[in-house]
Amino acid sequence: PVAEQYDLLVPLTRWVLREVGAQHAAWRRQDLDLVVGINLHARHLSTGTLVDDVFSALAESGMPPGNLVCELTETSVAEDPECAASQLAELRRRGVEVSIDDFGSGFSSLGQLVNLPTGVLKIDRSLVAFTEGRESHAAAAIAAIVALGRACGSESLAEGVETAEQLALATALGCTFAQGYHLARPMPAADL
């Protein structure tokens, strides 16, 4: 909220893009070929400069476009869906992946899924971290999202995987990717 109040969201995203590029270059020198995801805010989409900002940072660092995933929540495109879709399509056309974060939480819109050019659906942790006795319900929801994503040409990522059981379920249901404390906790880049 403070960054938004002082109109710092776009400058902060530009800084994050440069830092990600620099860190990726450092990892490449260590023979680590990693994919890095960054979160985008609606404010950046509404400026119309997102594509230029992303590719400027990639060019500066030498980071390949295929190693960057731009993540956004469904609500972040609500301000100007056509402008957002145009920029996201251009990112994907030029090799940067785009994902919808927290899919399955709140008011997920199938219209957004159909209209947004995304390649990854990040299944919200609330579905992955099912409560005792609710595994079959969680499995049904995850399977539906995986199938829906596949039908729309998207892969799926299970967020918030904290146990071997959750990872096994996500894998069995066809999730392409997973993230969470079971796999690794947040850490300094040098410790990776």
Asked whether the beta carbons of 139 and 169 are under 8 A apart, the reply is yes
pLDDT > 90 in the chain, percent: 56
Q: What is the CA radius of gyration of the chain?
A: 17
Q: Which of 71, 155, 159, 162 is catalytic?
A: 159
Q: Provide the pLDDT for residue 146.
A: 94
pLDDT > 70 in the chain, percent: 91
Lowest mean pLDDT among 8-22, 56-70, 129-143: 129-143
pLDDT for 42-82, tens place per residue? 788 888 899 999 999 999 999 999 999 999 876 666 667 78
Give which of 128, 52, 130 is closest to 96, Cα–Cα.
Answer: 52
pLDDT (mean) for 152-162 = 92
- Structure-block tokens of residue 189: 């880049």
pLDDT for 93-127, tens place per residue? 999 999 988 776 655 566 666 777 889 989 988 88
Q: Is 97 a catalytic residue?
A: no
pTM of the model: 0.84
